[in-house]
Structure 1
Amino acid sequence: MSTILLTGPTGFIGKEVLKQLLQTDHTIMVLIRTEEKYIRLQHELQLTHHNVQPIIGDLTLPEFGLSECDKQLVLKSDSIIHTAGPMDITIDKDTAKQVFLDAANQLMNLCEEIIKQKPFAHFLHVVGYKSPFNEQNIDLTSDPYSLSSRFPEEGPYEQMKFAADLLIRQRARALNIPLSVINPSTVIGDRRTGENEQLSALGLFIHLIRNDLVKAIPSQQGEWLPLVSKSDLAQLIVKLVNQPHPISETYYLLAEKESTPDIEQLFLQMFHELRKDTPQLKVSVSQLRQDWPSQASSVGFPKETLSFIISDDRPRTSVQKVYEEPLTVESILPHIIADVDYRLSHHTPIPTTVIRGRRGNLATLEASHRGTGSPIILLHGLWGGADSWLPLIDQLSTTHPIIAPDLPGFGRSPYHHQSSPIAGTITAVVEMIQNINEPVTLIGHSLGSIIATHANQHIPDSIQQLIHIHPQLDIEEEQTVNFSTLPHEEEHLAEFLVSTGFFSQATDIPVPFLAHLVADLHSPRIRHTTRDMLHELQYQKERFPLQLPPSSKVTIVSNVPTEKLNTPAHLYLPFSNSAPITHPQETANLITDIMTSKLPL
């Protein structure tokens, strides 16, 4: 097994590489700027592996600013995986030179020192699909520090990445080091969950669309923005580092062009998933390139972005020799777009007690500590998403696995685009439960109760217990609500929430919850979905009655006195309709008592 030095372990690519390296027997040293960053990384990845060693250093400092002790550890490396570098195409020339070219030079100086003491097995360098260099065209006499003049059409970001690529190739050849250069296309999020922490690249387009800054759709037949998931990139890197006899080779990693939308289709899909009206205007990519100053305002993005849109493909033979999995992004794009849309509104990291996941087509929050009982699924109400259950998850996860999905169009889940918001949501929840392959306890709050009731009608054998928390019960004439506009200022939104009966008074609304909801409603996707749900609940509620047939597996928890209800088992919870949010401890205790049959019903 190898002793690997990994640069950029907290970055979008490096972190995914580290996650997958943890499944191997390699010894891993991670070059990281501070001990505090390493502690955060430990919590995030739940690092308990004895084979991970932090090396406190900075690629931009002379000799990385290493202590003598850490330098001696680094000199034991026999492989280096270099993933470090910002993903910001707008950085200036001096910064780009420092983080790409100077850092590459220092890494090769390190390799030279290692070789004086022991054999060196493999250098792996992540560059990008636009780099013009390969094993056949390296000019050993070219000065990388003077290379930028050869690529005047590129910005400093790409110029310095090219220069770093050339420098490492030159020095690796001089040192006779096997060098794998991995040239991915634009990297997007996790292939399974859609998690996409990187908010540049595709995130830039989504930000512009959210803010009505894209007035025309870029369009031209054959022009595309090549994409690849970080999961595929990390898997390829691990396969390469596991090779017993590595060779020097360039690996272009792009999803298949045939299964990737062209640039017009990509923008149309982003508008569709964000639930925004599509501009009628189109502008050709060639026109943008030829007449950028007059066309820039129509698309909103910086000029440097244009060079990432290409018409040709890249050779794939080298990748196909070592990586057999199909490279596609089509099915994950709706999840990527929804995830980025959510992150543009919410910047607070989730607690380390939960992890992000995906079940069926729904994004989930799941307790990182899995209990041993049957799974509990928590369906949120109209206001908020899976995040609204966070205070309860810790309380319930000691005995049961907890799964809190974002319903379609909320949180990080893409919208289902069916004609009925509620019917499409019911279908998505049913499919999610069927994928779990064991009976579950289904807990619905408010709107979630309606979804839970109808899911139970579809798959009763898959739901062993059904708990409704403050279901929407027709015991009084409901007040008509004006939902045509949803306020997103805190004061007006608080008034709106009281008018809908979700809270008794504005002072009952927790400040963090209100701030979270305001941020939610800045997403056109969530705002549109919330408005559609309100409309259907108010004007077509007869299509989705909250049917509560007598059943030993159904329990209702509400603030309606028992004598006013003719329902199955009922427990009185003397709080507003938002009890899981305002009184999570009491709600969790009641759920636990119901599930352990401690309460007489």
Structure 2
Amino acid sequence: MNQTTNLEQTVLFMTGSTGFIGKETVKQLVEKTDVHMLLLVRSEQRARTVLESYGVRSLERITFVVGDLSVQGLGLAPRDHKRIREANVILHVGGTMDITLERETAEKIFRHGAREIAQLAEDIQRSGGLRHFIHVVGFMSPYGQGSEQEEQININHLHSQESAYEEMKFQADGYIREHAKQNGYPLSVVNPSTVVGPRPTGETEQTGGIGLLIGAVQKGFMPVVPGGSSYWLPLVENDVVAETLVFLTKDDSPIGGTYALLARKENSPNMKELLHILTKQLDVPKPAGGALPLSWIQKLLNVGGTRISGIPAQSLAFITDRTFQVEETEGLLKRMGRTWPDIREQLPFITADLDYRLLPKPEAEHIPNDYIRIRRGNLAMLGWEGEGEPWVIVHGLLQCADDLLPLGSQLRKLTGNPVWIVDLAGFGRSPVHQSRDAFTGQVNALVDALGEMQFPIKLVGHSVGAAIAAAALKQSGRADIRLALLQPAADNVNEGNNGRLKQMLRLPRRVVRTLLRSKSQRSWARMFSIDSSVQIKGSIVDRSAQRAYGYLRSPRIAGAHVDLLRWIHLGHKQELSFWGQYGNLEQTNNATDLLIVWADKDREYHFPSKLKPGYKKVDVPHGHYFPVFQFEQTAEILMNWAENSHMNNDRQGY
């Protein structure tokens, strides 16, 4: 059935608009429809901030209505209640995603909230007619799946479960279904499976679903396959959920139904395959203990396992051996003109995102937070849009893209250009690369990412990121990329200072990774303090040390560090100088205006003397990590270089 334009303006009353699903739904409604939205929120100012931060570009067709699902009458002022009764579509997405909710709280939010929303639906139906009620509730709901007898069996099973969160959500489902029958309005129930981040980035801010499993694997608490190969964890991206909700909202002649948003079981990864994908991305061994029944794992968690692992026993409710009816869903997808996406394609990005989110971060973050996130190739990027030729910045070791946000923000402020900071493969939010060689894999990933940016670029690399940027530029053969190298590091190590490190790097990879992760936060702070030759506030050094220590809690990020450290210290033969090979970029690329900024207080590296002549050099009296600690000065140097293509080729002091 094709949707047609109704002469009646769609006025949507929506709950849960600032949640994980809700934000994406509002964004798509703004971009794809002319629907006017009445959004139930607890705080208008907070809701505005949340939606604008998520990328909702216009709030013109949005009216915020202050209220609360857990309060009698939704806590609405009389004027707002009258306004809401003008809606002809209700989209009920509200409810906290917290499987550990106490029963009383869960009952207030879900069951009480359902009664209040149903009463509102009844009022609208009586006064002018409710075109459509759309209710979003979890995929394990016993309602709408099979015959009445099968439903009753599932309901009886529900009452035997321990999770008040699940029970109250599903009681709300049953109540609204019965109310819709009694009052004669069309009801569509959308049952998303475990929700993960949208394409292309996979940003999964809701860490209570698959994030619990990833956290367990990350910490080594998943040595077995829960349930075995007959079990699975159904997953759906939140943009797919939002697209479905938007389609139903616009439907002028809704027929109602139950739509389980999940793929067919046979087309989805089972638990064994899923764990193999996760362990590969997290750089940890596959489960060696075979399969273990879910009931046994639940008992272990209930007798102390939750306290040790941080995994609630209730979280296992999302792992199932059930087969779900998806015929109605497939019919809806056909009407929408789309097919079900394969979650395997997105899992590496979801895994990297959640792995990074679950790491400890400094309590006080004095870094810009107005950036947006994009993906190019298989790499995550943070930054800002702007006018003119973009900057692309590549970080070094003990860093992720976040560490160079102050530099990127200052560059954008000075130039107005777009600025994008790359997370290297296996670092930050980027999945691990698939190459056997660490450096080659990083270069290939960057080349692919730059290949999606077919316009002039100013490419900046720091430390080993400078070597990766230089090699990527040469491999790309592009003549529209200008290159700036900040403290470039490859085979220019001061060997006298690194004998002990070199010996350590010859040990087995897992041993090296363990030793690297064993370094204390204090030792990283000491290293950063020694590296800087100027007075830096202790809090800045401490935050950098906290971040470095936190990054290395991830086996994935720690492994990526080990691989690049080995490449730097063990990967070169004396007769094959890296900078001898890649240092003649000025000659191989006519458009390249090569800048090198060198900090002469660096104790670990010396200037790469084998670079071919023709570059521009600026000396600074700092240590190796000056782009992090002296970001304002670094941005000014880069801006001057970009604006003045006729810089003197002689060495420039700063």
What TM-score does the superposition give when structure 2 sets the normalisation length? 0.84
**Alpha carbons 2:224, 2:292 under 8 Å: kept:** no
Where does 1:309-324 land on structure 2 (aligned, <5 Å)?
309-323=319-333, 324=338
Q: 1:374-432: per-residue Cα shift (whole Å, max 9, x none)?
A: 22211011121111221122233353222211001110011114322211101100011
Q: 1:167 to 1:529 in 2, by over 3 A?
A: same
CA apart distance, 1:351: 4.2
Q: What's 1:557 paired with?
A: 597
Query: Which one of 39, 43, 58 corresponds to residue 48 of structure 1?
Result: 58
CA apart distance, 1:587: 0.8
Q: What's 1:269 paired with?
A: 277
Q: What's 2:508 paired with?
A: none
Query: Which one of 121, 142, 157 corresponds to residue 111 of structure 1?
Result: 121
Aligned: 1:340 with 2:340: no
CA apart distance, 1:150: 6.1
Query: Which one of 430, 436, 457 corresponds to residue 447 of structure 2?
Result: 430
Q: Report SS of the residue matched to 1:510.
A: helix
CA apart distance, 1:226: 0.9
Question: How many aligned residue pairs are there?
Answer: 592
**Alpha carbons 1:440, 1:462 under 8 Å: kept:** no
Q: Whole-Å Cα distance in 1 between the matches of residues 437 and 391 of structure 2?
A: 26
Query: Which one of 378, 387, 405 corresponds to residue 361 of structure 1?
Result: 378
Where does 1:61-80 land on structure 2 (aligned, <5 Å)?
61-80=71-90
**Alpha carbons 1:3, 1:78 under 8 Å: kept:** yes
Q: Whole-Å Cα distance in 2 between the matches of residues 563 and 136 of structure 1?
A: 71
Q: Report SS of the residue matched to 1:221.
A: coil
Aligned: 1:392 with 2:423: no
Q: Report SS of the residue matched to 1:494.
A: helix
Aligned: 1:39 with 2:48: yes
Q: 1:21 to 1:86 in 2, by over 3 A?
A: same
Aligned: 1:467 with 2:468: no
Which amino acid in the other structure matches residue 104 of structure 1?
Answer: A
CA apart distance, 1:436: 1.7
Q: What's 1:600 paired with?
A: 648
Q: What's 2:571 paired with?
A: 540
Q: 1:490 to 1:289 in 2, by over 3 A?
A: closer
Unaligned runs of at least 5 residues, structure 1: none
Unaligned runs of at least 5 residues, structure 2: 1-8, 505-511, 587-591, 650-654
Which amino acid in the other structure matches residue 407 of structure 2?
Answer: L
Q: 1:460-499: per-residue Cα shift (whole Å, max 9, x none)?
A: 2164201101112738545215363224532111234567
**Alpha carbons 2:599, 2:622 under 8 Å: kept:** yes
**Alpha carbons 1:42, 1:48 under 8 Å: kept:** no
Q: 1:71 to 1:414 in 2, by over 3 A?
A: same
Q: Whole-Å Cα distance in 2 between the matches of residues 492 and 169 of structure 1?
A: 60
Which amino acid in the other structure matches residue 445 of structure 1?
Answer: H
Q: Whole-Å Cα distance in 2 between the matches of residues 504 and 422 of structure 1?
A: 32
Where does 1:418-497 land on structure 2 (aligned, <5 Å)?
418-461=435-478, 463-472=480-489, 474=492, 476-477=494-495, 479-480=497-498, 482=501, 484=512, 485-486=515-516, 487-497=518-528
Q: What's 2:589 paired with?
A: none
**Alpha carbons 1:228, 1:328 under 8 Å: kept:** no
Q: 1:136 to 1:586 in 2, by over 3 A?
A: same
Q: Whole-Å Cα distance in 1 between the matches of residues 585 and 170 of structure 2?
A: 69
Q: What's 1:329 paired with?
A: 343
Q: Report SS of the residue matched to 2:105.
A: helix
Q: Whole-Å Cα distance in 2 between the matches of residues 274 and 457 of structure 1?
A: 30
Q: What's 1:522 paired with?
A: 553
Q: 1:418-457: per-residue Cα shift (whole Å, max 9, x none)?
A: 3222111011000111122223221101111100111011
Which amino acid in the other structure matches residue 578 of structure 2?
Answer: P
CA apart distance, 1:108: 0.7
What is the RMSD of the two structures over their aligned residues, measured on CA atoms? 3.0
Q: Report SS of the residue matched to 1:365.
A: strand
Q: Whole-Å Cα distance in 2 between the matches of residues 286 and 214 of structure 1?
A: 12
Q: What's 2:631 paired with?
A: 584
Which amino acid in the other structure matches residue 380 of structure 1?
Answer: H
Q: 1:65 to 1:55 in 2, by over 3 A?
A: same
Q: 1:238 to 1:271 in 2, by over 3 A?
A: same
Q: What's 2:622 paired with?
A: 575
**Alpha carbons 1:210, 1:274 under 8 Å: kept:** yes
Which amino acid in the other structure matches residue 622 of structure 2?
Answer: F
Aligned: 1:97 with 2:114: no
Where does 1:99-248 land on structure 2 (aligned, <5 Å)?
99-134=109-144, 151-153=159-161, 155-248=163-256
CA apart distance, 1:135: 8.8
What TM-score does the superposition give when structure 1 sets the normalisation length? 0.91
**Alpha carbons 1:190, 1:229 under 8 Å: kept:** yes
Q: Whole-Å Cα distance in 1 between the matches of residues 77 and 302 of structure 2?
A: 53
Q: Greater CA deviation, 488-497 or 165-174?
A: 488-497
Percent sequence identity over matched residues? 30
**Alpha carbons 2:302, 2:313 under 8 Å: kept:** no
**Alpha carbons 2:525, 2:542 under 8 Å: kept:** no
Where does 1:407-426 land on structure 2 (aligned, <5 Å)?
407-426=424-443
CA apart distance, 1:550: 5.7
Q: Report SS of the residue matched to 2:421.
A: strand
Q: 1:230 to 1:503 in 2, by over 3 A?
A: farther
Q: Whole-Å Cα distance in 2 between the matches of residues 437 and 450 of structure 1?
A: 22
Which amino acid in the other structure matches residue 512 of structure 1?
Answer: R
